[in-house]
Structure 1
Amino acid sequence: MTNRSALRTLGLAVAVLATLFSLSFIATPVKFLAADVPMSHLLAVGRETFRASVAIESILLFALFVSARGTSRRLIIVAIATVALQWIVIMPELDDRTMAQIAGAAVGPTSLHDWWIGLDVMRLAIYAFVVHTCSRHLRKTVRTNGLES
């Protein structure tokens, strides 16, 4: 891996990690703290947030796949498969539940949210590993005064 490739991969991995963390673990739960906003409005905002987040993450994942090498690339493939699993298998059911709740129906508990969060955490770990791997490569290169581009 060249320094240029490591820097590009590092930047993309940080971007996708920050995007996933900020949208899934900050914006999503915090919106429910808004006082005096009807739940149906919060759920509608959540639907749009999830659609935007998957679009942004998918673009970044494609770029990361192109940039990454070796183990990092294989892990990015796992992240891509995880996003696909979430959106093809889990999201339709969650979306139906959300639409029912927006329409005023009572919806019982489900473990699908736990699965979704677990898969998000797994992707965060993958992105953090890619960040670590690229950072380690760059530190090693700097220590040995290897300045290849």
Structure 2
Amino acid sequence: MELKAILCAILGTATILLSLPVWFITLMALIAGRAWSLATGLAGLVMLGAGAAFIYLAYSAIQDEKMDEARYHNMERQVLALAKKNKGSVTVADLINVGFESAVAEAVLDKMAKKGICDINIDATQSSGITTYSFPTLIPFGEENDRQVKV
């Protein structure tokens, strides 16, 4: 979970818990018929509102994190589909041609390489100067040797 979400949840919970004594004082002031009970009641409402706002911020941060993960997985699926279409290799330029932004395309491919989903094809990169990412499981059978010879 993101640090922002954790901090907001802690602040929200702490603010709501701190409002409980204010509500208790307000209740006691109402029972005693004190005029200032309205002021403490309003202070309690403000504290509850602030606590609820912090908890909402925590919730929205968690939802944003989930949406970012979903977007990344969708991009991964698109990369894999393109790799399958290209017989197991993809470049950043290939992804740009299908609508990815340059920085996003490079970040997704690098992250996939770090996760072990694909390999950076050093031979192809050295010969052409373009970083090529290969997906060994998507290379059609019998073409592994052909690729190494052609590059």
Decide: shared fold, TM above 0.5. no
TM-score after normalising by structure 1: 0.40
Between structure 1 and structure 2, the one with the greater Rg is 2
Q: Whose strand fraction is larger, Structure 1's or Structure 2's? A: 2
Q: Whose helix fraction is larger, Structure 1's or Structure 2's? A: 1
